[in-house]
A and B are shown apart, each in its own frame.
Chain A
Amino acid sequence: GAGVSQSPSNKVTEKGKDVELRCDPISGHTALYWYRQSLGQGLEFLIYFQGNSAPDKSGLPSDRFSAERTGGSVSTLTIQRTQQEDSAVYLCASSLEGGPPQFFGPGTRLTVL
């Protein structure tokens, strides 16, 4: 693959609905990160995966947010009962063997109406 891919590129949803965001990391990269960037804010860490396990999920802002990774590859970030403050660009990144985020995906722009 050419790099980290994310889908959808844009998602508009109504307040209270659930959304799923998908990330396909670079093949062979064992570390996967989710970050988000809100308007006027810097990039905020959400969760880190090493393989299929998440040793650091301290950045998830509430229990409405969850993420999983299967097969050491694809990851899904789920936001339940979306709120307007969840509107942001959600970025996924991957790296070899637990190094710092090396390559980011194009992001998913989430808009909650």
Chain B
Amino acid sequence: AQRVTQPEKLLSVFKGAPVELKCNYSYSGSPELFWYVQYSRQRLQLLLRHISRESIKGFTADLNKGETSFHLKKPFAQEEDSAMYYCALSDSGAGSYQLTFGKGTKLSVIP
């Protein structure tokens, strides 16, 4: 069975400090990984996907198949990054994005 683990429920960092939100997964097939974000009083939305290999709002994430990880990183945290972040996985060959979500990490950036 596929599983996504986000080991930290809450992560607090100071403004300007580097951020790393951890995500580990277990899946026997060929996974596609995503990060979703939910800002306060806003809706959940897609932040980035590993196949795009792009930086969104300064965030990047690299899929490490050896370590089965997809950590989200940003070199310098901003106050507006404070939000709930969810890591998610789908089977890239399934044809439907039936995502398995982690339970989320709340990022708090301290001014």
**Residues of A that sit less than 8 Å from B by CB:** 3-4, 31, 33, 35, 41-43, 45, 48, 50, 55-56, 58-59, 91, 93, 95, 98-106
Contact = CB atoms under 8 A, between A and B. Distances in A.
Contacts of A93: 44
Interface of B: 4, 32, 34, 43-46, 49, 86, 88, 90, 94-104
B97 A101 contact: yes
Given A42-B4, A100-B99, 11 more contacts: A33-B97, A42-B102, A42-B103, A95-B97, A98-B95, A98-B97, A100-B34, A100-B49, A100-B97, A103-B43, A103-B45
Contact of A99 (B43, B97, B101): B97
Contacts of B101: 42-43
B45 A45 contact: no
Counting from the closest, the 4 A-B pairs by CB-CB distance are A56-B96, A104-B44, A100-B97, A43-B101
A99 B49 CA distance: 11
B95 A55 contact: yes
Contacts of B49: 100
Contacts of A91: 44
B95 to A, nearest CB: 7
A36 to B, nearest CB: 11
Contact of B96 (A4, A42, A55): A55
Given A42-B103, A43-B86, A101 B98 contact: no
Contacts of B86: 42-43
A113 B4 CA distance: 32
B104 A42 contact: yes
B46 A56 contact: no
Contacts of A3: 43
28 contacts: A35-B99, A42-B86, A42-B101, A42-B102, A42-B104, A43-B86, A43-B88, A45-B99, A48-B96, A50-B96, A55-B95, A55-B96, A56-B94, A56-B95, A56-B96, A56-B98, A91-B44, A98-B95, A100-B32, A100-B34, A100-B46, A100-B97, A100-B99, A101-B46, A103-B46, A104-B44, A104-B45, A106-B43
